[in-house]
Every structure is written in C-alpha cells, then in structure tokens.
Amino acid sequence: MFDEKVLQCFLDNQLQLYPEKVAETPEEAEDFLEECMAVVVDSVREVWEFFEEEGVDMEGADEEEILEAEEVFAVGDGRYLIVEV
C-alpha cells in the first residue's frame, strides 16, 4: 500500500508529529502506518476532502494551513501522506 517514497518521507519527517521516532526501518514504518490507517492522497484537494470527510473544522483555513497540519506529510511528488493520530 505504501511505496518506498512514502515510507522514506515518513521516516524522514516523523518527528513533526511524534516526540520521538516510532519507526527506524521502512518495514517498521509500513507496519506503523497500516496500524494508524494512514492514507496517501494525490493532491491538495484530496487532503482537503479527507479532512472534510473526517469532520475536521476547517472554517477559515486556507490551503497553506491545511498543508502545515502536523499530520500531513508532503511526499515530494505531488502526493500527501496523512497520518491520523
């Protein structure tokens, strides 16, 4: 479900969401992300739709604020990893 680029993104940036590392290897990252029911979306619009579906109050938020949410990780190829906490 999670390709190498997504797993590396999480490994490199996990401290933006957690106070200490929760995974050291791609295998650990994949297991963790599966347990968290993390999702990968293909665009900023899909990040927005995900938050709407989850009932997150985004009143007055703009695109930049949504992408700066600590649970949103920019994969670097236009996709975003969203890790539910």
Q: What is the pLDDT of residues 25-39, one digit of tens each?
A: 999 999 999 999 999
Quote the pLDDT of residue 73.
98
User: Where in the sequence is the domain holding 30, given as residue range(s)?
Assistant: 4-82
Quote the pLDDT of residue 62.
85
* Residues 6 or more apart whose Cβ sits within 8 Å of residue 51: 58, 66, 69
Quote the pLDDT of residue 81.
98
Give the chain's residues under pLDDT 50: none
pTM of the model: 0.92
% of the chain residues with pLDDT over 90: 79
Per the CB < 8 A criterion, the answer to whether 72 and 63 are in contact is: no
> Domain count of the chain?
1
